[in-house]
Amino acid sequence: MASRAAQKRVRLTREYKSISENPPPYITAHPSDSNILEWHYIITGPEDTPYHGGQYWGTLIFPPNYPFAPPAIRMHTPSGRFQPSSRLCLSISDFHPRSFNPAWEVSTILIGLLSFMTSEEMTTGSVSGSEAERKYLAARSRWWNSTGGGSHLKPENNAGKGNIKAGDGGLKFKSEWPEIDQENWKWMRENKLDTATGNKVVETIGPSCGPQLNIAAGSGHQAHAVVDAVIQQRDAGQSWLFRNKLLLAGGIIFIYVLVARLLGEGAP
């Protein structure tokens, strides 16, 4: 007869196969390689919710007597709905072992968590964030997961059992979700995020050292346009007298010669 530990392993292995082949909408999950009682899940924020597009990572820590007792449920990614890494008081969590049904599986637990997340019901471990705050955190969730909230620059590795804080540099997430972690870093590069802050990098243009010529790029007569623009700017700063100095000089000479002839003809 199989031991309880073996039965538990068989049950969770079967559940992993089931949730892998038929994942619930917006949910993916797997047990840790080092401990089958430690499961990691990712909930993708559903459409028409403030969490849309968010990547919410958390853990389920199952007790030795599972399925006769429920797991401890945590969500590590800041969401504006739950306190990060805090145990959640739900009817499907270890806060209420007597209400747990042994027939419930991992997929049942995570569907229940998603349902509660998209409601406004309050419980231990939940917070009342505004819609704007939740949208803001959803947009930063990939960055938070893969950098540990920006602590990747100085990893402290201070994550406890089932209690990942924003100081582990994203190492735990990377170890459990290597492919998704790579996708997150690629997404951060493409969107030009500052990995220390999660904010978009603002590209600055150096100060101009002179007047702009306003020449359209790609013109077939670019050289001619440059010359015209230079002449226009030069002429704009010159007076009428300066622009017509040759004409004035010629007029003065003509008048001088004319006066000289008249005076010569009038001489005795």
Positions marked catalytic: 89
CB distance 82 to 132 below 8 Å: no
Distance CA 187, CA 198 (A): 12
Task: For residue 255, count other CB atoms closer than 10 A to its CB.
Answer: 10
Residues 40/28, Cβ–Cβ less than 8 Å: no
- The DSSP string of 16-66 is HHHHHHSPPTTEEEEEETTEEEEEEEEEEPPTTSTTTT-EEEEEEE--TTT
Best CA proximity match to 74, nearest among 91, 101, 93, 55: 93
> How far apart (Å, rounded) are the C-alpha atoms in residues 59 and 62?
10
Question: Percentage helix, strand, coil, to 5, in the chain?
Answer: 40, 10, 45
